[in-house]
Structure 1
Amino acid sequence: MSVHEVRLADWPGNVRIFYTTREGGCSDGPYHGFNLGLHVGDFEQSVRRNRAELLEHLPPGARIAWLDQVHGTDVVKACDSIQAPLSADGCWTTDSGIACAVMVADCLPVLLTDHSGSVVAAVHAGWQGLVAGVLDAAVSKLNVAPQELCAWLGPAIGSDEFEVGPEVRAAFMRQNEAPGTDSCFKPSMRRSGHYLADLPSLAEQRLTRLGLLHIQRAEDCTVSDPRRFFSYRRDGVTGRMSCLILRNP
């Protein structure tokens, strides 16, 4: 099955979360399966068919706000990105029936809502955006006290697969983050001077520093499961999956 709904304890009942895998779909070649990215070189017709199938799994009447993701910190209103995707790495809405969506193939998808389900947001958090403050930007847009927010971290590259250079570790350490940041990096046995980074834990630390108290995460590693997930780190040329959040129409 290509589209999965996530049901989380203590989340508002009017908020729905979905994520996709590469299983199913009609794309071929390196994009084989349920590719949702128009920008990766796949045939547009195949991607459109996959996106139409995705809509069939969402509540009737739902619309998807896609983004042109650039590893930055801009977070926009979802309604402004429906007709033509805006260049941004997050979107939010208080409207019902608009699905905030981010595309991923190793980067971390972060979905946000508040306890009353009055607002939802989706954020694309690769390491560059995370260092630059994309989660900070998203939380500031929601006009909700951070302790009233809930976060779900979707499938992403796992800590055993995300090898980074010393400059990546240094970028996080320069921010003088809370104690424990260094624990998210362990020396790589593959290349001297490199590290294995725990991207979900780095994001969780950032959210905690921002004041969030309710954070849950998937444990799936996109790199180590080629049957279910696209992975840019593993394959280079590949498709994209999506994580989506919406308020019921």
Structure 2
Amino acid sequence: MDQAWIVPDWEAPATVGAAVSTRHGPGVSLPPYDRLNLGLRSGDDPARVTENRAALATGLRLPAAPLWLRQVHGTDVADAASVPGSDDEPVADAAIARGPGRVLAILTADCLPVLFASDDGQTIGAAHAGWRGLAAGVLENTVARMGVPPDSLFAWLGPAIGGPSYEVGAEVRAAFVERDPAAEAAFTPTRPGHWTCDLYTLARRRLAAAGVERISGGGFDTFRDPRFYSYRREGAASGRFASLIWTRAD
């Protein structure tokens, strides 16, 4: 049977739930978006995406509607407490929440989703780390906005394009190496002016520098794994899958 969800293998408290959707979940999107496309701005029929989002919430037994974001490859962090309603989608690439019954969601199709939980289970975070946001500090901003000691956090690196599948140019390499020369270890030369780029290595370096010590996950490759949407593999007709984290209701 196709796997509908992936549950992170990490040491987050029992009061915190997390899951990653796959395209094989209980959705109604038609080819080429089949089946559980969750991206409203992916070119799919919005009515089908809305139905998919409802099926996601039911399938995972979420305690509330997810806070969806209008992601722009930036570094802004939304606080769920300041968003007027669940139908609002703030322009941000990360979000945080405190207290029971909160759900955060990040949409990706090759970029790196990162989930965060405090060790007391009271504060959660989620970030969308494409190379631009990762280089500009979206992970550091998320850690800072959570308002707890960084060494009290758990971080989990979700499905993203794998290093061997992700060739980039000099602009991407420079964005990391000019700030952190040791980040060169995440880049492997392929042809003149091009390198493969390991987002997982870069994210681990950034998180460790920010004081986050308990980092798990990684090891996926959305480009090669058909369970996931991949913009680099499918182009403009790619859907989006979601990485979600929530605090269980009282």
Which band: TM-score by shorter chain?
over 0.9
Q: State whether structure 2 residue 173 is matched by structure 1 residue 176.
A: no
Between the aligned partners of 1:91 and 1:60, the Cα distance in structure 2 is: 17
User: Secondary structure of 2:141's partner?
Assistant: helix
Deviation, 1:7, is: 4.2
Between the aligned partners of 2:223 and 2:99, the Cα distance in structure 1 is: 34
TM-score (norm 2): 0.93
Question: Which residue of structure 2 aligns with residue 153 of structure 1?
Answer: 157
Opposite residue 23 of structure 2, the aligned amino acid is R
Identity %: 42
TM-score (norm 1): 0.94
Q: 1:143 is matched with which residue: 143, 147, 150?
A: 147
Contact 2:189-2:196 within 8 A present in 1 as well: yes
Contact 2:63-2:103 within 8 A present in 1 as well: no
User: Secondary structure of 2:244's partner?
Assistant: strand
Opposite residue 58 of structure 1, the aligned amino acid is L
Question: Which residue of structure 1 aligns with residue 210 of structure 2?
Answer: 210
Question: Which residue of structure 1 aligns with residue 106 of structure 2?
Answer: 102
Structure 2 spans left out of the alignment, 5+ residues: none
Cα gap change, 1:205 to 1:57, in 2 (>3 Å): same
Contact 2:9-2:217 within 8 A present in 1 as well: no
Structure 1 spans left out of the alignment, 5+ residues: none
Q: What do you get for the CA RMSD once the two structures are aligned? A: 1.4
Aligned length: 243
Contact 1:6-1:16 within 8 A present in 2 as well: no
1:72-115 CA deviation, whole Å, 9 max, x = no partner? 00001124162210100000000322211100000000000111
Contact 2:187-2:198 within 8 A present in 1 as well: yes
1:170-200 CA deviation, whole Å, 9 max, x = no partner? 11011135x3x11100001xx4220000001
Between the aligned partners of 1:148 and 1:235, the Cα distance in structure 2 is: 39
Contact 1:59-1:248 within 8 A present in 2 as well: no
Q: State whether structure 2 residue 89 is matched by structure 1 residue 88.
A: no
Listed as ranges, the matches of 1:190-201 within 5 Å are 191-201=191-201
Cα gap change, 1:7 to 1:173, in 2 (>3 Å): closer
Deviation, 1:30, is: 2.1
User: Secondary structure of 1:131's partner?
Assistant: helix
Deviation, 1:60, is: 5.2
